[in-house]
Amino acid sequence: MTHKESEPVLSVRDLRIGIGKQNAILHGVSFDILPGETYGLVGESGSGKSITGLSVMGLLKRPLQVTGGSILFRGQELLTLNSRARRRLRGDRMAMVFQEPMTALNPLATVGRQIAEMFVIHRGLRWSQARTKAVEALENVRVPSPEERARSYPHQLSGGMRQRVMIAMALACRPDLLIADEPTTALDVTVQAGVLELIAELSQAEGTAVLLVSHDLGVIANMCRRVGVMDQGRLVEEQDTRALFERPLHPYTRGLLAARPRLGSRTLAQRGRLTELDEVVSSDERGRDQPTLVTPRVFSGATP
Amino acid sequence: MKAGGTGVPVAPAFNLVFGERQPSRMMRFILRRTLQMIPTLLVVVLIIFVIFSVVPGSFISSLMSEGRNATNADVMAHLNQQFGLDKPLLVRLWDYLWGLAHFDLGISYRTREPVWNVIEPRLWPSIKLALAAMFFAALVGIPLGFVAALKPGSVIDTGTMMVAISGLSLPEFWFGLLLMYVFALQLGWLPSFGYNADSFQHLILPAIALGVSPMALLARTTRAGVLDVMNADFVRTARAKGVSEPRLVRSHVARNVLVLVLTTLGLQVGSLMGQAIVIEKLFSWPGIGSLLVDSVAARDIPVVQGAVIVIVLWFLVINMLVDVAYAAVDPRIKVT
Amino acid sequence: MRLRFNLVLGLTLALLVIVCALGAGWIAPYDPVLHADLMNSEMPPSWEHPMGTDGQGRDVFSRVLYGAQVSLTVGLVSQLINSFIGTALGVSAGYFGGWWDDLVNGLTNVMLAIPSLVFALAIMAVLGPGLPSLLIALGLTNWSWTCRIARSSTLSLKNQGFVQAAVSAGFGDFNIMRTQILPNILGPVLVMATLGIGSAVLAEAALSFLGVGIRPPQPSWGNMLTDARELLRAAPWAAIYPGLAIFITVLGFNLLGDGMRDLLDPHMRTRKV
């Protein structure tokens, strides 16, 4: 923890990702995350927010590769780091929580063992010691009867519990940066709030910076002070969350906000026709063969 | 056989898991699976019995034509009576099943010994050959599949897949002949055929010849399994945890792949005793397979039936063991 | 890339074998049975005898060519029977369910428990050697996997919209199976049949090698190997070429089946990119 308060934990500059050199998917994305800050990346699926998170972790899959730009983590350039050094950072200094808690855990190992592995890899603990630390970690994420739960296998836990396990695992080594990629999307609405609360609380307590990737503006509004809006592989707007909701600058953001169903207007007649994204964003601003957001259309189609 | 649990009390899921170490539950599982084999075995006996009851020439008539006095009706009637062949088919079937229930497989037409006494000395050589072949197949096939899958599209991968498809297309007895020619006749390193209970050398060539096709199959299944598992979300999670690649393969991928490969492994071991008949004949191996072929040629039907039952039983027992192994390796599988 | 390679090589080898079988009468330099020149027995390959001669002075090349006829006939016809049985049982079991499904399922499990070669051997013992017996023995013993695949495909198709639509439109059961389900499972069944040709050729060779398949004067790759075993030291070519013919044939149909499967399965295709 040697960095100064003002210096960003993560500084992404002009990041470019493509399939090979030709097909660019991310066209120069830049943003900073300060220590202890929760930064939101919002956009529809395919906008490039998830691969931004994965590239920071160094987990891009084969045809995808970083083609340019820089990723500074605590002042250190990650893109020129060798794979061994990057691996050491992963899990220890930066950690990630994924969308699908059903498949993100090894089905054949106990939850406790999977958390304990963090301490074995990064702290050099013996398995017996690591196991007690794992139980503590489960207790931290408020899993009831952690002793017993540590001996369970993933399939024996509910989705919300599994995501708590993922969070316990990610935060086990008290990282400086937590990347949460749609952490509540796959969960029941009833447990979403609890999981988000947990992330907020633990990151505040430890001073962990969070990069929260989501398509859900509601989640972003609750969690983040600053938001970046992504569309078609570009960061089209970056604002304070409050300002974004009050005065969206970019037409795409306006469309995204308008597409949200509003609370309060109860009947369909009152609600009127939901905004279609295509009406807001002129067609030359989006790629021709890109899929458009489907949900609003479905809603509007339902009006009599 | 569907493992549809009927009448088994449903306890909370985590209590049913084998990891909880409940030997009595495991024993019950094995016992139930053993009982489930009986209908399959009965149908097999029935099929074999029906097939051989329509044999045009009975064993007795083939005995007669072998230079003995074929016109002696008295002798024929006596023999028919001795073997119970004068009774109606259903009675014979009932007698046979009754005997089977008492572990009595009948009397061999040819040697006039109890069938079990004919089969028993053949059992161990057959099992030895099957296990040796499988040992070879697993030892070569599984690592080959792993290596191929870790570098998909590489020269090693392409080469391995060529070897695999060739292995599956190879007539094993021809491959055995080639092995025999090269290693026994030309190089003189190994005995060309025969069996020696104490010597390991006689086992090598037949085991390799028999093991080539399961080896190829295992290489393919392993490769597909590794590719599948490497794409799984939990492998990405492990990478995000900072797990190194060797550790990833060792402690996250390998066991998950093993679960996928286990089925193939079991099916192969189970059917090896049947597949071995040609190899046993080629190498003059005194196993169940060569006994079966000889008995078919001599129409010694009780021995044929006994040998088929042993081969099927081996298949069923191995598959039960695989299911038991599954429960031990995969916590998601409930032993009920 | 690999996908096309499999298909092309498989098709080439399969066609090669088919041409050899159909053209054996024209290509073969000698009569496979009657031309037995005892003075020239166990001769190594030469211009007159490209694959040498066997123990009775017969031309191995000619016998291999005629052997292709037996192998292909057995492979194709027995797979036709197997595919018919497997598809009929599998589709009807999946479609009707209930006790019929249980019965078919049980029978399939029994068939899987008896190694098909053992079963075929038993049937051959009853029917006696010869081509017709081989067709029956191998046609009746290798349908269990086709049946399983047809059944599971039918099960998943049954609940799909277009089949449900046909049911509610009042089509007859047989009609629905024939017009709605069968066309959709033809692909996997065809793949199984192609792969099955390979195993039928292997099984025929094994049975003939054991002496219960095609009887000696008539050439079959399997019984040629039986003879060759006795003179392995003196005339290894008599063992090498018939086996090579089996290998090439089986490899051809296996590659073809693999290639077809890759072509049919888009999931496999994307994974190979």
Report C:25-84 residues touching B (Cβ under 8 A). Answer: none
Inter-residue contact C258 to B169 (CB < 8 Å)? no
Instruction: Indicate whether this complex's ipTM tops 0.90.
Output: no
- Position A129 pLDDT exceeds 50: yes
Nearest CA in chain B to A55: B240
The mean predicted confidence, pLDDT, of chain C is: 82
Return the DSSP state at B58: -
Name every chain B residue with its beta carbon within 8 A of the beta carbon of A105.
Answer: 234, 237
Helix (H, G, I), strand (E, B) or coil at B114: strand
Confidence (pLDDT) at B4: 38
- Position C206 pLDDT exceeds 80: yes
- Position C270 pLDDT exceeds 80: no
- Any chain B CB within 8 A of the CB of A88? yes
- Position A255 pLDDT exceeds 50: yes
Report A:129-158 residues touching B (Cβ under 8 A). Answer: 151-153, 155-156
Q: List the helix and strand counts (H, then E) for chain C.
A: 13, 0
Confidence (pLDDT) at B55: 60
What gap in Å lies between CA B40 and CA B42, rounded to an integer?
Answer: 5
CB contact under 8 A, B242 and A109: no
- Position A300 pLDDT exceeds 80: no
- Any chain B CB within 8 A of the CB of A302? no
- Any chain B CB within 8 A of the CB of C264? no
- Position A291 pLDDT exceeds 60: no
CB contact under 8 A, B51 and C198: no
> Crossing angle of helices B201-230/B155-169, nearest 10°?
130
In angstroms, the Cα distances linking B196 to B178, B189, B191, B204, B286 are 21, 16, 10, 12, 10
What are residue A38's DSSP bridge partners? A210
Instruction: Give kind and range of the element (H or E) at residue B65.
Output: helix B59-65
Instruction: Indicate the residue of C113, C115, C272 with minimum beta-carbon distance to B316.
Output: C113
- For the residues of B265-289, what is the DSSP string, one character each? HHHHHHHHHHHHHHHHHHTT--SHH
CB contact under 8 A, C115 and B311: yes
What gap in Å lies between CA A11 and CA A8, rounded to an integer?
Answer: 6
Question: In this prediction, what percent of chain C has a pLDDT beyond 90?
Answer: 7
The more confidently predicted of residues B330 and B336 is B330
Token reading at A160: 């919300």
- Position A279 pLDDT exceeds 70: no
- Position B93 pLDDT exceeds 70: yes
What gap in Å lies between CA B156 and CA A281, rounded to an integer?
Answer: 50
Instruction: Indicate the residue of C110, C117, C122 with minimum beta-carbon distance to B304.
Output: C122
- Position C85 pLDDT exceeds 90: yes
Name every chain B residue with its beta carbon within 8 A of the beta carbon of C247.
Answer: 166, 169-171, 174
SS (H, E, C) chain A: CCCCCCCCCEEEEEEEEEECCCEEEEEEEEEEECCCCEEEEECCCCCCHHHHHHHHHCCCCCCEEEEEEEEEECCEECCCCCHHHHHHHECCCEEEECCCCCCCCCCCCCHHHHHHHHHHHHHCCCHHHHHHHHHHHHHHCCCCCHHHHHCCCHHHCCHHHHHHHHHHHHCCCCCCEEEEECCCCCCCHHHHHHHHHHHHHHHHHHCCEEEEEECCHHHHHHHCCEEEEEECCEEEEEEEHHHHHHCCCCHHHHHHHHCCCCCCCCCHHHHCCCCCHHHHCCHHHCCCCCCCCCHHHHHHHCCC
The mean predicted confidence, pLDDT, of chain B is: 78
Mean pLDDT value across residues A107-117: 89
Confidence (pLDDT) at A297: 33
- Tell me the shortest Cα–Cα distance from A78 to chain B, in angstroms: 15
Name every chain B residue with its beta carbon within 8 A of the beta carbon of A152.
Answer: 14
- Any chain B CB within 8 A of the CB of C140? no
For chain C, the chains sharing at least 3 beta-carbon pairs closer than 8 angstroms are: B
Tokens 């609370």 locate to A263
What gap in Å lies between CA C119 and CA C82, rounded to an integer?
Answer: 14
- Position A202 pLDDT exceeds 60: yes
Report B:299-318 residues touching C (Cβ under 8 A). Answer: 299, 304, 308, 311-312, 315-316
- Position B3 pLDDT exceeds 50: no
Dmax of chain A from CA atoms?
A: 65
Of the candidate ranges B204-218, C221-235, C243-257, the one whose mean pLDDT is the lowest: C221-235
Confidence (pLDDT) at B79: 63
Instruction: Indicate the residue of B19, B232, B332 with minimum beta-carbon distance to A103.
Output: B232
Mean pLDDT value across residues A12-29: 84
Of the candidate ranges A137-141, A297-301, B208-212, C51-55, the one whose mean pLDDT is the lowest: A297-301
Q: Which tens digits make up the pLDDT trace of B115-126?
A: 888 888 888 889
CB contact under 8 A, C250 and B44: no
Helix (H, G, I), strand (E, B) or coil at B17: strand
Helix (H, G, I), strand (E, B) or coil at C59: strand
In angstroms, the Cα distances linking C130 to A178, C65, C136, C202, C214 are 74, 19, 10, 16, 5
Confidence (pLDDT) at A205: 85
- Tell me the shortest Cα–Cα distance from B217 to chain A, in angstroms: 25
Nearest CA in chain B to A148: B14
Nearest of B182, B265, B309, B216 to residue C247 by alpha carbon: B216
- Position C266 pLDDT exceeds 60: no
Instruction: Return the amino acid letter for B86.
Output: D
Q: What is the CA radius of gyration of chain C?
A: 22
Number of other residues whose CB lies within 10 A of the CB of residue A144? 9
Inter-residue contact A130 to A119 (CB < 8 Å)? yes
Half-sphere exposure at residue B221, Cβ-oriented, CA atoms within 13 angstroms: 25
Confidence (pLDDT) at A21: 72
Token reading at C111: 């068939």
Of the candidate ranges A257-266, B258-267, B318-327, C7-16, the one whose mean pLDDT is the lowest: A257-266
Residues of C233-266 as b/e, b for ≥16 C-beta within 10 angstroms?
eebbbbbbbbbbbbbbbbbbbbbbbbbbbbbeee
What gap in Å lies between CA C119 and CA B47, rounded to an integer?
Answer: 10
What gap in Å lies between CA C121 and CA C48, rounded to an integer?
Answer: 38
Confidence (pLDDT) at B215: 92
Mean pLDDT value across residues B119-136: 89
- Any chain B CB within 8 A of the CB of A118? yes
Sheet with A177-181: strands ordered across? A94-97, A177-181, A209-214, A38-42, A226-231, A234-240
CB contact under 8 A, A153 and B331: yes
SS (H, E, C) A197-231: HHHHHHHHHHCCEEEEEECCHHHHHHHCCEEEEEE
**Interacting residues of B291 by C-beta distance below 8 A, sequence separation 6+:** B118, B119, B122, B303, B307
Token reading at B155: 């020269």
Question: In this prediction, what percent of chain B has a pLDDT beyond 90?
Answer: 5
Instruction: Give kind and range of the element (H or E) at residue B309.
Output: helix B301-329
Token reading at B243: 């797990």
Confidence (pLDDT) at A282: 42
Q: Which tens digits make up the pLDDT trace of A60-92?
A: 887 888 888 889 888 888 888 888 888 888 888
Q: In which region does residue B128 sit, left (phi positive, over 0), alpha (psi from -120 to 50) or beta (all else)?
A: alpha
Name every chain A residue with its beta carbon within 8 A of the beta carbon of B234.
Answer: 103-107
Token reading at A251: 């037409």
Of the candidate ranges A153-157, A192-196, A274-278, C217-221, the one whose mean pLDDT is the lowest: A274-278
CB contact under 8 A, C117 and B274: yes
The more confidently predicted of residues B200 and A15 is A15
Nearest of C255, C91, C256, C97 to residue C186 by alpha carbon: C91
Name every chain C residue with its beta carbon within 8 A of the beta carbon of B316.
Answer: 113
Token reading at B271: 């059917």
Helix (H, G, I), strand (E, B) or coil at C93: helix
Token reading at B159: 């080469």
Half-sphere exposure at residue C104, Cβ-oriented, CA atoms within 13 angstroms: 27
Q: What is the CA radius of gyration of chain A?
A: 20
Name every chain B residue with its beta carbon within 8 A of the beta carbon of C123.
Answer: 51
- Any chain B CB within 8 A of the CB of A100? yes
What gap in Å lies between CA C189 and CA B106, rounded to an integer?
Answer: 42
Ramachandran angles phi, psi of B183, nearest 5° = -85, -25
* Winning range, highest mean pLDDT, from A231-240, B32-41, C10-19: C10-19
Which of C107, C114, C244 best probes binding to B when mutated, by most B CB atoms within 10 angstroms? C114
Tokens 């090896």 locate to B272
- Position B85 pLDDT exceeds 70: no
Of the candidate ranges A262-266, B139-143, B235-239, the one whose mean pLDDT is the lowest: A262-266
Tokens 């796959």 locate to A186
- Tell me the shortest Cα–Cα distance from B265 to chain C, in angstroms: 15
Q: Label the pairing between strands A209-214 and A38-42.
A: parallel
Mean pLDDT value across residues C54-80: 83
Which of C5, C6, C118 best probes binding to B when mutated, by most B CB atoms within 10 angstroms? C118
Token reading at C229: 């075993």
- Tell me the shortest Cα–Cα distance from A114 to chain B, in angstroms: 9
Nearest CA in chain B to A86: B242
- Position B54 pLDDT exceeds 70: no
Confidence (pLDDT) at C216: 81
Inter-residue contact B300 to B59 (CB < 8 Å)? yes
**Interacting residues of B70 by C-beta distance below 8 A, sequence separation 6+:** B64
Inter-residue contact B134 to B217 (CB < 8 Å)? no
pLDDT band at A260 (very low <50, low <70, confident <90, very high): low
**Interacting residues of A203 by C-beta distance below 8 A, sequence separation 6+:** A36, A38, A178, A209, A210
**Interacting residues of B18 by C-beta distance below 8 A, sequence separation 6+:** B26, B327, B328, B331, B333, B335
CB contact under 8 A, B14 and A156: yes
Nearest of A139, A71, B168 to residue C258 by alpha carbon: B168
Nearest of B214, B173, B307 to residue C121 by alpha carbon: B307
Which of B230, B241, B255, B257 best probes binding to A when mutated, by most A CB atoms within 10 angstroms? B241
